[in-house]
A and B are shown apart, each in its own frame.
Chain A
């Protein structure tokens, strides 16, 4: 079945460092891919999404490109801020799975000043 695998955390970076959080997926078809962010004590907020191969999703300085050949959707940001500290979840959704979301295990990001 479909699944999402994320890199283990926590990831600790200094402010202004470059961020990469790896995400790979397994799917029987062609899903849409998402990154959600969860700040402490809050729910899941959509960060960005991509709906087909080679699409790039971007928001708030974060980017991720849908790579079908490597089945990946890595999250990147050029310069992180303390306010980016949160848990990041990669997810996929597909019509053949009734559009339910499959989430990765989440990666906690700590950004130090």
Chain B
């Protein structure tokens, strides 16, 4: 069964450094999402992406964050200057179509630790 993959599984970085989290969505999917889950808290929406542009972003997704689909397969989340509070599990998701009945498929997550 096709699946969403994410790399790395765990990233440790120093505060102020840039990190890039990578995702490979399911190949025929058109809509892509990033979510994050701070330890012990709920999963929160960050951003959605369609047709090579952001379709919606949350208030969490400030100027430190950016997303890109650099080629036909990867979908990346960049945090320009990491803060301690960026430590979280980051999930990528993809879906073929954007109807409300469509299931989003989630990757296994990247655990980001900012020291």
Contacts and interface: CB of A to CB of B under 8 A. Distances in A.
Contact of A46 (B42, B48, B103): B103
Interface of B: 4, 6, 31, 33, 35, 41-45, 48, 55-56, 91, 93, 95, 98-109
Given A100-B48, A102-B45, A103-B43, A43 B101 contact: no
The winner among B6, B31, B56, B103 for most chain A CB atoms within 10 A is B103
Q: In the complex, which range does the number of interface residues on chain A fall in? A: 20 to 34
A43 B93 CA distance: 10
A36 interface: yes
Contacts of A51: 100-101
A43 B106 CA distance: 7
B62 to A, nearest CB: 17
A103 B104 CA distance: 13
Given A43-B91, A105-B41, A98 B103 contact: no
